[in-house]
Structure 1
Amino acid sequence: MHRTPLIISTDPGIDDAVAITIALFAPQLDLKLIVATWGNVALEKTLANAMRLETFLQTKVSVARGAQMPLLRPVINAAAVHGESGMAGYTFPEPDSRLLDHRLAAEALHEVVSTSPEKVTLMQIGPATDFALYFRQFPEDLTKIAKLVIMGGALGRGNWGPYSEYNVAGDPEAAQIVFSSGVPIMLAPLELGQQAFVDQQVLNKIRNLGRTGDMLYHLLTALNDQTANDGREIYDALAVGMLLRPDMYTFASAYVAVDTKSPLSYGASVIDFDDFFDKPQNAQVGVKVDRQEFNSWFVEAISRADKQGE
């Protein structure tokens, strides 16, 4: 089976941990590098969390130290949602420090992409800071990137501002650099996570899968996302699903840009499906996900992680 070379930029983060776990054990993916960036909590916590998760899972993918703050704006955080540690709800082992790649994130990214015999896929499930810095420092690598899958942005209302979603709002200038890079983009906006709802029955299935399922169950049920119903909305795993099961989604082509000027809508993702701006389309935007198919895939993917991680 061909395995797609993949790099994930992430800010673990409970939903990040779910997505990373699935990606690590997906037979179709060859995860080459994890870049921990600031985001849901501070960098030192997200970095430790990425290594703690891998230590628990007994995997050996290197983790690079990403940015400590956005390019221009002040740091925001989501500790109220993910807990002060960033991964509330489960006691993880101490991180294996041998997983740490001591180079700057951009250098580590460049090494993987430039030496790969085939184009590398990137996945961004946190703020865009590290990919923006990488694209600026090594623009010659852009043609060696197959695609970039992003969980971020919103079709309508936001979760950080009236129109801004957290990952994009965290570093709007970096997000704009990424969207204007010319790299083919698949985008999973906020609304898809609201569609990809898993109820308590599905959560119970996950808990009973085994050691890894139990860990993810405790993380997901500790997530303080104010879900209205009895269950959880799933966000970052949407990006992994787009790589592995794009048939679960309905996509529409669009020109996507980020508002970096307005004091009222700063950080909003502007998604133009109708050519209002007369700009080339730069993203395939997920506008719908089949909830039943996603739920089945989600449980199956975690089950595979559990079996392989035993």
Structure 2
Amino acid sequence: MTVRFVLDCDTGSDDAVAIFAGVRHPGLELVAVTTVSGNVAIEHITDNTLRALDLAGADVPVYEGAARPLVRSDLPVPRRVLNKDSDFQKHGLGLPEAVSAKREGHAVEFLRDCFMDEANADLTLVATGPLTNVALALALEPRLASRIPRLVLMGGAHGNGNVTAAAEFNFWADPEAAEAVLSAGIRDVVIVPLDATHSAPLTAADCAAFESTTVGAAAADLVRHRLETDRSAQATAAAPVHDPMCLAYLAHPDLFTEAVEAHVSVETSGARTLGELLVDTRPWRPEPANATVALRASAAVYREFLREALT
């Protein structure tokens, strides 16, 4: 069966690859995209999203969302400082200018209305950026927690983080939103942290295998840029491409080779641990499990998913 989903994202290079895959994979149906501030400012994220959808040939509605974190005025380290010397997320992602436009209305209101609609009882929410929009939607309509049938999100790290030693970028960028979402009581939450995405990195050979189509060539260029600029790729000549792994899981539920049921929470006040994902697997933990946390993924299954979608 085709898996229908809404994608909430902060479109940088790996979100763009996820958009390509979500549009083109025969087992997936992308219903709508909502954008959230994260990798870059919200107006650039929405533009990047429209560019990716246009290149993929998709007439999918795009709703622009939160321009800042849930309670903070900016990222814990302001973006202008964080990205001062970085070319990791290049302007426009090297994609042709968008010809489509965002829809009227706010992403948060769209998420509320979409998931409160009985017709969307089978709809998965996939979140690959900071969880600001989702947290705001839950605050606007608390019943939404029982209406979202499944949330699959990229965020957190059970081991080392990437923006700090403790934290992955999405949870660090808006830790209060991440904690609000994970404590809201959504019945089926799957977290794809850095542990899983780093276990199945992509290489230059993978890029070459994608290039038989227009979207495949664009995805290959984006992955090559990550190979050139991602510090984690320097020693191994392989780079994690995080966000499409959420979609790979929708199409291939056997993707993860190791996962744990756990009670998860996010640190919102630690001086050195802000945004840290806490995964409590103790048998005597006081709280019940509220998420499945993927720890390792099959590189072969992930590559096969991308080939199915891009070539």
Normalised by the length of structure 1, the TM-score is 0.91
User: Does 1:22 pair with 2:21?
Assistant: yes
- Counterpart residue number, 1:101: 103
User: Does 1:189 pair with 2:193?
Assistant: yes
* AA in 2 matched with 1:94: A
- Counterpart residue number, 2:135: 132
SS in 1 for 2:63: strand
User: Does 1:57 pair with 2:56?
Assistant: yes
- Counterpart residue number, 1:110: 112
Is the Cα–Cα contact under 8 Å of residues 56 and 93 in structure 1 kept in the other structure? no
- Counterpart residue number, 1:263: 271
- Counterpart residue number, 1:177: 180
User: Does 1:220 pair with 2:223?
Assistant: yes
Is the Cα–Cα contact under 8 Å of residues 36 and 43 in structure 1 kept in the other structure? yes
Is the Cα–Cα contact under 8 Å of residues 260 and 292 in structure 2 kept in the other structure? yes
Is the Cα–Cα contact under 8 Å of residues 40 and 82 in structure 1 kept in the other structure? no
Is the Cα–Cα contact under 8 Å of residues 14 and 86 in structure 1 kept in the other structure? no
Is the Cα–Cα contact under 8 Å of residues 11 and 39 in structure 1 kept in the other structure? yes
CA RMSD of aligned residues (A): 1.7
| Equivalent-residue separation in structure 2 for 1:3 and 1:295 (angstroms) | 20
- Counterpart residue number, 2:303: 295
SS in 2 for 1:232: coil
Which residue of 240, 248, 256 corresponds with 1:233? 240
Q: Which residues of 2 match residues 39-58 of structure 1 at below 5 A?
A: 39-58=38-57
* AA in 1 matched with 2:110: A
Is the Cα–Cα contact under 8 Å of residues 254 and 273 in structure 1 kept in the other structure? yes
Residues 3 and 180 from structure 1, CA distance in 2 versus in 1: closer, same or farther, beyond 3 angstroms?
A: same
> How far did 1:24 drift?
1.5
SS in 2 for 1:197: coil
* AA in 2 matched with 1:109: L
> How far did 1:168 drift?
0.4
Is the Cα–Cα contact under 8 Å of residues 210 and 307 in structure 2 kept in the other structure? yes
Residues 275 and 258 from structure 1, CA distance in 2 versus in 1: closer, same or farther, beyond 3 angstroms?
A: farther
User: Does 1:121 pair with 2:124?
Assistant: yes
Which digits, 9 at most, give the CA deviation of each residue in 1:237-273, with x for residues without a partner?
A: 1111121112121221011100012112111111112
* AA in 2 matched with 1:298: L
| Equivalent-residue separation in structure 1 for 2:26 and 2:147 (angstroms) | 22
- Counterpart residue number, 1:308: none
User: Does 1:251 pair with 2:255?
Assistant: no
| Equivalent-residue separation in structure 2 for 1:81 and 1:167 (angstroms) | 18
Which residue of 285, 288, 297 corresponds with 1:280? 288
| Equivalent-residue separation in structure 1 for 2:167 and 2:92 (angstroms) | 21
> How far did 1:36 drift?
0.8
Which residue of 75, 79, 83 corresponds with 2:89? 83
User: Does 1:206 pair with 2:210?
Assistant: yes
Which digits, 9 at most, give the CA deviation of each residue in 1:205-225, with x for residues without a partner?
A: 112x22111111111111221
Is the Cα–Cα contact under 8 Å of residues 4 and 28 in structure 1 kept in the other structure? yes
Is the Cα–Cα contact under 8 Å of residues 40 and 86 in structure 1 kept in the other structure? no
Which digits, 9 at most, give the CA deviation of each residue in 1:216-236, with x for residues without a partner?
A: 111111122121322321211
Q: Please list every run of 5 or more consecutive structure 1 residues that lacks an aligned counterpart in the other structure.
A: 304-310
| Equivalent-residue separation in structure 1 for 2:284 and 2:180 (angstroms) | 21
- Counterpart residue number, 1:307: none
| Equivalent-residue separation in structure 1 for 2:236 and 2:145 (angstroms) | 42
| Equivalent-residue separation in structure 2 for 1:200 and 1:145 (angstroms) | 38
Q: Please list every run of 5 or more consecutive structure 2 residues that lacks an aligned counterpart in the other structure.
A: none
Is the Cα–Cα contact under 8 Å of residues 51 and 95 in structure 2 kept in the other structure? no
* AA in 1 matched with 2:29: D
Is the Cα–Cα contact under 8 Å of residues 41 and 86 in structure 1 kept in the other structure? no
Which residue of 147, 151, 155 corresponds with 1:152? 155
SS in 2 for 1:148: strand
SS in 1 for 2:69: coil
Aligned length, in residue pairs: 297
> How far did 1:116 drift?
4.1
Which digits, 9 at most, give the CA deviation of each residue in 1:83-127, with x for residues without a partner?
A: 34262xx24133412xx1211111111222222422321011000
| Equivalent-residue separation in structure 2 for 1:284 and 1:83 (angstroms) | 30
| Equivalent-residue separation in structure 2 for 1:187 and 1:10 (angstroms) | 15
SS in 1 for 2:202: strand
Which digits, 9 at most, give the CA deviation of each residue in 1:163-221, with x for residues without a partner?
A: 100010000000001101111100111111111112221111112x2211111111111
